[in-house]
Amino acid sequence: MQNILKLSMEGKHIVMRQLADLYAEGISPSIGGDIWSQGGIAIFGILVYFIDKNFVFHERLVAALPFSSVHHTAEEMERATKEACAEMGIGTYRLDVAPGDGEDTVANGIHGTVSDNASNIVSGWTCFDGHECTAHTIALIVKAFLMQQVVHKVFMKLRGMTAHFNHSVIGCKLLYECQKRYGLADSKPPQDNDTRSGWGGACKQAMWYLKNQWQVVKESVYILVHSTAACDLLQGTKYATTNLVLPVIGRLAHIADDSTQLKFEGSAVTITNEHAKHARKLMYKSVTKRYFNDLMDCKLEDFAICTVFDPRYKSFKFRSAQKWMRGTFTQEKGASWARAAWEHDWKPKPTEANSEVIVTRKVTNRVSAANFLQDSDEEEPPEARTSSGESGCEQMDELARYLAYPDAAQDTDPLKWWHLHIGEFPHLSKMVRQFLSLPATSAGVERAFSVVSGMHTDLHTDASPCMRAQFSIH
């Protein structure tokens, strides 16, 4: 056990050195947080996210704080977050001095935050810039669909039947006998145990029951399968995701719009059931309210800047882009936000600017966003430009030169694109590393809790919450 704790401390020091190197470049990391609880044990997990010089996305656990005996108030969560971050070298937090002599610079060392939608952590983290978990918000949007009266009853029946087949040995045996009689492979409906989205399992259950051709179930799947794909895409922690929020939400709004022709498994389908139609309208109303009408400017600005820094979507030629800001959102507005941040914090002084224009080549890598967002409002963008040395380019700053590029192909990996173009955009690429480090969801923290949960099961009779927290870090 001592050796394990020693390795844990070594891992902590490695992360601290990585963060120090990041700050030396003038780049701030992002953080994510959530609380896990089980069997009377509660742990507050905090992860840090950053993109290194090679444009590799990193996720590191910096704190797993015992929270069983702490009131989960906004004040306690703010205090715990700042203390944990300061211990890792993210700013300074000292309040144990004479009144008026304290120091709190943690927020200055964090680019942005992502948390779940619980009111306590949202309130506790108002001192930081950031947003709530997009996957949780999509879950609330989908809930509007699933709570339609008839749809809700149907899915409750599916859950009941699924529970029966998963708990009744006789029922499961009869199901297999029926399947064998009709030449079908043995299978039973999957349990709804999707803890991250809270509803994704319902879609998988419904897909299993499709063989019964129940109209409400079938047509619900036509809608929900896109939401499931959206959450899976946004919950990644090995690639940038905040840049995908606006394109993905735009796609979901397009799917929920009853004027959109849907496709399922490559074929055109139509929603004919009145209850499914009504549920679809409720979902469209929910996504419009949450992301087109009620989304705060500060959060839209963060999403828009990250979208600008994705070479595939910087021209905002994706579904529903025109609906943000009640129809007034344009690519120019997103670019103006990016320029304001660039000129305020990142643009080099004239003596520092490197006017050399380096010829670059196109780089692509298949990513799932290409499949989910493949039918954009515009035609497929042209090939990425192989040289930016046209007349007058030397007088353009890095941001202007980047925006002058045509949109990259859909199968382009944005981080690899930026890594390849570091020589052309030495200062802008640092800004991109900071902005794209903020995840779209808090899924990474929840995945870390899977490890903590296993340790709790194995060690709960011997280890204290503090010991579990020490084991969890790194």
Nearest residue to 138 via CA among 200, 202, 219, 218: 200
Tell which of 270, 293, 316 closes a domain: 293
Residues 422 and 439 sit within 8 Å (Cβ to Cβ) = no
The CATH number given to whatever domain includes residue 54 is 3.30.420
Q: What is the pLDDT of residue 97?
A: 57
Nearest residue to 406 via CA among 305, 311, 310: 311
Q: Are residues 124 and 224 in the same domain?
A: no
Q: Are residues 430 and 449 in the same domain?
A: no
Q: 63-103: per-residue pLDDT in tens?
A: 888 888 778 899 999 999 999 999 999 999 987 655 566 78
Tell which of 253, 277, 293 closes a domain: 293
CA angle centred on 233, ends 407 and 323, rounded to 5°: 55
CA atoms within 13 A on the CB side of 99: 0
Q: Are residues 218 and 233 in the same domain?
A: yes
Q: Are residues 277 and 333 in the same domain?
A: no
User: Domain range holding 239?
Assistant: 136-293
What is the rounded distance in angstroms from the CA atom of residue 44 to the CA atom of residue 473? 12
Q: What is the pLDDT of residue 234?
A: 94
What is the rounded distance in angstroms from the CA atom of residue 314 to the CA atom of residue 274? 39
Residues 178 and 201 sit within 8 Å (Cβ to Cβ) = no
Strand 41-51 relative to strand 93-94, pairing: unpaired
Q: pLDDT under 50 in the chain at which residues?
A: 1, 195-197, 211-213, 325-326, 355-367, 376-392, 455-461, 467-474
Q: Are residues 219 and 322 in the same domain?
A: no
Q: Are residues 322 and 367 in the same domain?
A: yes
- Helices 215-234, 149-167: inter-axial angle, 10-degree rounding: 80
Residues 117 and 441 sit within 8 Å (Cβ to Cβ) = no
Amino acid identity for residue 439 in this structure: P
Q: Is the dihedral of CA 340, 345, 350, 354 positive or negative?
A: negative
Q: Are residues 346 and 413 in the same domain?
A: yes
Residue located via tokens 């610079």: 105
Strand order of the β-sheet with 113-115 is: 57-66, 41-51, 30-38, 113-115, 130-132
Q: What is the pLDDT of residue 414?
A: 96
Q: Are residues 23 and 48 in the same domain?
A: yes
Q: What is the pLDDT of residue 368?
A: 58
Tell which of 293, 316, 351 closes a domain: 293
Please provide residue 409's backbone torsions phi and psi, each rounded to the nearest 5 degrees. -65, 155
Q: Are residues 317 and 359 in the same domain?
A: yes
Number of domains, the chain: 3
Q: Are residues 403 and 362 in the same domain?
A: yes
How many contiguous H segments (helices) and E segments (strands) does the chain have? 18, 9
Q: Are residues 25 and 60 in the same domain?
A: yes
Q: Which residues face 42 on adjacent strands? A: 37
Q: Are residues 389 and 258 in the same domain?
A: no
